[in-house]
């Protein structure tokens, strides 16, 4: 896992620097999303993983699919990326790029686990509380975990706020 992150980091940082310099952060986000969807397509994967395919064939295929939908800079990135055999880390490059972008914009991701489905107002209320507490914008994502019994558990980076019934019961048991 660490190796993939190590391989992806320089590409993500270089792309982010270029996008910041040229004020094209959102365009690169869209381009990376599109490139990921192409690279993760089952047909594309089966073609790329064929035993007799050459790097130049992969590059030509990728460019034939993408060239009319992306900028010249993105085409240069594709060529460099494929020639260096880094297609397998594209998802991680995109993830790290988005992380750098969010960090720069003062946005943090929060995973909210709830025992039951939350409506928009409840998610917004939790995000507003976190936003005030952390003094950052919050990008929430919600998952449902019936094992919590009730309440919520919130993950922001390496911090966890446990306001679930299960968490409180475990805390009471440890205290007793």
Q: Once rounded to an integer, what is the mean pLDDT over residues 51-75?
A: 91
Round to whole Å and give the CA distance between 43 and 36.
Answer: 13
- Give the fold, CATH level 3, of 2-103: Peroxidase; domain 1 (1.10.520)
Residue 1 has pLDDT above 70, yes or no: no
Provide the token pair at 168.
Answer: 């409180």
Q: Once rounded to an integer, what is the mean pLDDT over residues 96-123?
A: 91
Task: Provide the residue ranges of all domains of the chain, joining segments of one domain with +.
Answer: 2-103, 107-175
**Strand duo 107-114 + 151-156: pairing:** antiparallel
Mean pLDDT over the full length of the chain: 90
List residues bridging with 155 in a β-sheet.
111, 160
Beta carbons of 31 and 71 less than 8 angstroms apart? yes
Beta carbons of 139 and 150 less than 8 angstroms apart? no
Phi, psi of 152 (to 5 degrees): -135, 160
Round to whole Å and give the CA distance between 111 and 128.
Answer: 14
Torsion 102-108-111-116 (CA) sign: negative
Q: Once rounded to an integer, what is the mean pLDDT over residues 110-122?
A: 93
pLDDT of residue 61: 92
Buried b (16+ CB within 10 A) or exposed e, 82-99: beeebbebbebbbbbbbe
Round to whole Å and give the CA distance between 12 and 94.
Answer: 7
pTM above the 0.85 mark?
no
List residues bridging with 111 in a β-sheet.
141, 155
């Amino acid at each position: 896992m660490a190796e993939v992150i190590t391989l992806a980091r320089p590409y993500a940082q270089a792309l982010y620097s270029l996008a910041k310099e040229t004020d094209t952060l959102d365009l690169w986000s869209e381009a990376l999303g599109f490139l990921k969807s192409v690279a993760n397509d089952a047909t594309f994967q089966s073609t790329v993983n064929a035993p007799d395919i050459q790097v130049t064939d992969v590059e030509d295929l990728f460019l034939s699919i993408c060239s009319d939908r992306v900028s010249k800079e993105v085409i240069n990135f594709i060529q460099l990326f494929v020639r260096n055999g880094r297609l397998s880390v594209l998802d991680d490059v995109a993830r790290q790029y988005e992380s750098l972008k969010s960090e720069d914009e003062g946005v943090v991701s929060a995973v909210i686990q709830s025992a039951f489905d939350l409506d928009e107002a409840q998610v917004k209320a939790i995000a507003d509380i976190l936003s005030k507490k952390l003094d950052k914008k919050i990008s929430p994502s919600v998952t449902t975990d019936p094992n919590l019994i009730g309440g919520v558990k919130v993950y922001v980076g390496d911090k966890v706020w446990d306001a679930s019934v299960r968490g409180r019961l475990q805390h009471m048991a440890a205290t007793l």
